[in-house]
Amino acid sequence: METQRQKKIAGIIQQDLVDILQRAASDGGLRGVIISVSKVSVTTDLSIAKVYLSIFPNKEAQELLKGIRSNTPLIRHELAQRTRHQLRRMPTLEFFIDDSLEYIDNIEKSLKGEEDPIKDEDLLGRRKKS
């Protein structure tokens, strides 16, 4: 279970990251790409922050994730500058794609009978527990 402190730090990180990533995307000439931080969870010792991103359009997601991961030190530095009065130590950032919306969409399609994952097993996609 998350403590209040973990939730508070996650909230601070989430707020500032949205701004940093969205600005980086528009500065990088990526028009029409929406990056949102759907969830941030901080470990109990506050050393690691797992950041889940929703990226639209979805086809850009893997490419952008690679770019974000390779720029993690820069992003972490920018975040540390913004949160220096609220956080003593900046957790290590780990970025992941949040595919829950896509997963929900696939379930809805299946329920409407548009796609049948039992007949076409490729639709299921191997979901791994995080």
For the entire predicted model, the pTM comes to: 0.75
Q: Is residue 106 part of a domain?
A: no
Q: Is residue 57 part of a domain?
A: yes
Q: Is residue 56 part of a domain?
A: yes
How many beta carbons lie within 10 A of that of residue 63, not counting itself? 11
17, 51 Cβ separation under 8 angstroms: yes
Contacts for 127 with CB less than 8 Å, ≥ 6 apart: 103
99, 92 Cβ separation under 8 angstroms: no
Q: Is residue 59 part of a domain?
A: yes
Q: Is residue 108 part of a domain?
A: no
Which residues of the chain have a pLDDT value below 70?
A: 114-130
Domain count of the fold of the chain: 1
pLDDT at residue 108 in the model: 79
Residue 76's CATH number: 3.30.300.20
**Which residue range(s) make up the domain with 61?**
4-99
Q: Is residue 104 part of a domain?
A: no
Q: Is residue 118 part of a domain?
A: no
